[in-house]
Amino acid sequence: MKLLVVVSSLDLRQPFSATPAWWQLLKGLYELEAELIATPYQGASVESLWWRAAPNPARLPGDVFKSIRGFSRALLPSRRGAAGSQEDGESLSDKAVRHAANTLIAPLWKRHLEQILRRDNDVDAILFLTVPLNHLRGVPGYISRKFNLPVFYYDGDVPASLPDMAGFASGFRIYQGADLSEYTAFISNSSGGAKMLEALGAENAHTLWYAADPDLFSPISTSAQDIDVFFYGHGREYRSDWIDRMITAPSAQIAGARFAVRGTKLGDLGAARKLPYLSFSKLREYVCRSKINLCITRGAHASVYASSSSRPFELASLGACIVANPYLGIEEWFEPGVELIVVDSAEEAIERYQYLLANEKERIAIGAAARQRVLKQHTFRHRAHELMRIIKTYI
């Protein structure tokens, strides 16, 4: 199978949290003998051992849009449409950027994809990975008709990305003004989100959960586990209450416990120590130095059934003893009480931390069971196989 992949970014220096997942998914496809051409929507094109890189045809205007977007949002007020409509939640600056993108950037992408497909006339399908689909309105439909190819869109941010959710303050509103029927099928990270996508106009909707590459996220030996409770994440959006319940309050109340965090914009963290950012690769060391690792999932994902995110799979693949906030559908991936612990309050978090810190064998057993579950069901090679199966049904 030969795929042309339009990916949100291939540059790990860009502030897109899903980029490491896309690297792992594309690697998984390569390992299943898929031939890949990858071209980024934002930032530089990056060559790898697993794909052939094509350039970003609109890098300069894309960088300009990225630079001015935050400034324009500060100047232009948000204007909401009728409740539940696709215009709901789109600010004036978002509309201005969308209009400019459709006028200036979409034509560049149309020509770029045409050139690639004329040169590589044996491509089997095109996959868009979480690019702003309303910036490219008309392009997927045109390319699909002209080259008689199925075109797929994978949204890795469902449900937070959907119009009836607030979205992230730092993110594009990608559905307003988009035409979902341009795509052969939609794929998302959320089981519960499939019906939502169909209601927005997707003709076919499938689910592909996140996962982890067990070679990349593999446990390492450390001289000592000098961190008792560790959390890695950025921002309080949609999880402020659980940060307070699982970090701020317990760190102040459990005498002598060493809490640490690595992240930004997390607010009051009680007695938790902030660790420096050195590189993405440092995450593995921090996790393995920690006796307990927290998975605090944002409310949008936690409240819609089986809306996967990367962190549970990454921590499990590292053999971490995971304590999580309530997460609807988490049992689809891991067995609570065996492969991770779920707590329902600050009081329960404190009780479970104290118990686990006093019982090393149980911590080790939980982490080992979680990693075995990843190896059995949740590697990116598993997901690549599922993705190829979905694509083949439309070829």
Q: DSSP string spanning 60-87?
A: HHHHHHHHHHHHHHHHSPB---STTSTT
- pLDDT (average), residues 125-149: 96
Q: How confident is the model at residue 66 (pLDDT cuts 50, 70, 90)?
A: low
Whether 174 maps to a domain, the answer reads yes
Beta-carbon contacts of 155 under 8 Å, excluding residues fewer than 6 positions away, are: 130, 161, 174, 186, 187, 188, 189, 193, 197
Strands (E) in the chain, as ranges, are: 2-9, 35-42, 52-53, 125-129, 151-155, 185-188, 205-207, 227-232, 259-262, 273-274, 290-295, 322-324, 341-342
- pLDDT greater at residue 169 or residue 323: 323
Domain range for 61: 2-210+380-392
Q: What is the CATH number of the domain that holds 87?
A: 3.40.50
Q: pLDDT grade, residue 15 (50/70/90)?
A: low
SS3 309: coil
**Mean pLDDT, the chain, integer:** 90
Residue 125 has pLDDT above 70, yes or no: yes
Amino acid at 343: V
Q: Angle at Cα 193 formed by Cα 263 and Cα 200, nearest 5°?
A: 115
Name the range with the highest mean pLDDT among 11-20, 97-106, 262-271, 380-389.
380-389
Residues contacting residue 38 through CB under 8 Å, at least 6 positions apart: 5, 7, 10, 26, 45, 48, 51, 52, 53, 54
From the number of C-beta atoms within 10 Å of its C-beta (0-12, 13-18, 19+), residue 114 rates as middle
User: Would the pLDDT of 82 be above 50?
Assistant: no
Residue 284 contacts residue 220 (beta carbons within 8 Å): yes
Domain presence at residue 284: yes
Q: How far apart are CA 31 and CA 130, in angstroms?
A: 22
Residue with tokens 């031939």: 35
Alpha helices (runs of H) in 156-206, residue ranges in sequence order: 193-199
Tell me: pLDDT of 228 over 80: yes
> In terms of domains, do 193 and 290 share one?
no
Q: Residue 318 falls within a domain, yes or no?
A: yes
Shared domain check, 156 and 31: yes
Residue 145 has pLDDT above 70, yes or no: yes
Quickly count helices (H) and strands (E) in the chain.
Answer: 14, 13
The percent of residues in the chain predicted with pLDDT above 90, rounded, is 78
Tell me the C-alpha to C-alpha distance, in Å, between residue 96 and each of 63, 109, 239, 286, 339.
16, 19, 30, 42, 47
> Which has more confidence, 257 or 98?
257
pLDDT confidence of residue 171: 53
Please tell me whether residues 124 and 164 are part of one structural domain: yes
In a domain, 221, yes or no: no
**234: part of which helix (H) or strand (E)?**
none
Q: What does the radius of gyration of the chain's CA atoms come to, in whole angstroms? A: 21
pLDDT of residue 81 exceeding 50, the answer is no
Whether 176 and 92 share a structural domain: yes
Amino acid letter, residue 148: N
| Domain shared by 164 and 286, yes or no | no
The pLDDT score that the predictor gives to residue 79 is 41
User: 140 and 240 share a domain?
Assistant: no
Residue 304 pLDDT greater than 80, yes or no: yes
Angle at 228 between CA 287 and CA 319, to 5 degrees: 35
Residues 57 and 178 grouped into a single domain: yes
Report the distance separating Cα 27 and Cα 212, nearest Å.
Answer: 11
Domain for residue 164, yes or no? yes
Indicate the pTM of the whole model.
0.91
Contact (CB, 8 A) for 247 and 272: yes
Handedness of CA 380, 277, 249, 236 (dihedral sign): negative
Q: What is the mean pLDDT of residues 33-48?
A: 96
Q: Which of the residue ranges 45-59, 107-121, 201-215, 272-286 would you say has the lowest mean pLDDT?
A: 272-286
Alpha-carbon torsion (23, 29, 31, 37), positive or negative: negative
Give the Cβ contact number of residue 83 at 10 Å.
Answer: 7
Examine the domain organization and report whether 331 and 201 are in the same domain.
no
Between CA 34 and CA 19 the distance in angstroms is: 19
pLDDT of residue 390: 98
Residue 83's pLDDT band, with cuts at 50, 70 and 90, is very low
Does residue 165 share a domain with residue 232? no
pLDDT at residue 104 greater than cutoff 80: yes
- Which residues fall within 8 angstroms of residue 48, CB to CB, at 6 or more apart? 10, 23, 26, 38
Q: How many distinct structural domains can be found in the chain?
A: 2
48 pLDDT above the threshold of 90? yes
* pLDDT value, residue 279: 72
CA atoms within 13 Å, Cβ hemisphere of 149: 26
220 inside domain? no
On the question of pLDDT at 80 being above 50, the answer is no
Does residue 255 share a domain with residue 162?
Answer: no
Q: State the Cα–Cα distance between residues 116 and 384, nearest whole angstrom.
A: 23
Are residue 289 and residue 329 in the same domain, yes or no? Answer: yes
Tell whether omega for the bond before 140 is within 30 degrees of 0, i.e. cis: no
CATH code of the domain containing 305: 3.40.50.2000
Task: Give the list of residues 6+ apart from residue 338 with CB closer than 8 angstroms, or none.
Answer: 366, 369
Checking if the pLDDT of 187 tops 80, the result is yes
Picking from 30-39, 64-73, 325-334, which range would have the lowest pLDDT averaged per residue?
64-73
Residue 394 in contact with residue 32, Cβ under 8 Å?
A: no
Is the pLDDT score of 65 beyond 90?
no
**Residues 238 and 325 grouped into a single domain:** yes
